[in-house]
Amino acid sequence: MKVRPYIIFVTLLFYPVFLSVSLIVSLVLIALGIIRRPFLTKRQAQRMIRLYMLIYGKIVIRLGFPWIRIRYEDMDSEHPHPCIYICNHRSASDPFVMAVLSGEFVQVVNTWPFKLPVYGFFARFAGYLNIRQISIESFLAQGKKLLSQSVAIVGFPEGTRSTTLKMGPFHSAMFRLALASKVPIVPICLQGTEHTPAKGSLWICPTEVKVRKLPAISYDLYKDMSPFKLKNYVRDIIDKQLQEMN
Q: Are 84 and 184 in contact (CB under 8 A)?
A: yes
SS (H, E, C) 75-139: CCCCCCCCCEEEECCCCCCHHHHHHHCCCCEEEEECCHHHHCCCHHHHHHHHCCEECCCCCHHHH
Collect the ranges in the chain with pLDDT lower than 50: none
Query: In the chain, how many domains are there?
Result: 1
Q: Which domain holds residue 215?
A: 5-245
Residue 104 confidence (pLDDT): 94
pLDDT of residue 117: 67
User: pLDDT tens digit string along 141-151?
Assistant: 999 999 999 99
- pLDDT (0 to 100) of residue 29: 80
Q: What is the pLDDT of residue 245?
A: 86
- pLDDT for 209 equals 94
CA distance 104 to 101: 9
The total number of residues written for the chain in this structure:
246
- pLDDT tens profile 225-239: 999 999 999 999 999
pTM across the whole model: 0.91
Q: What CATH number is given to the structural domain containing 30?
A: 3.40.1130
Q: What is the pLDDT of residue 214?
A: 97
pLDDT, residue 188, reads: 97
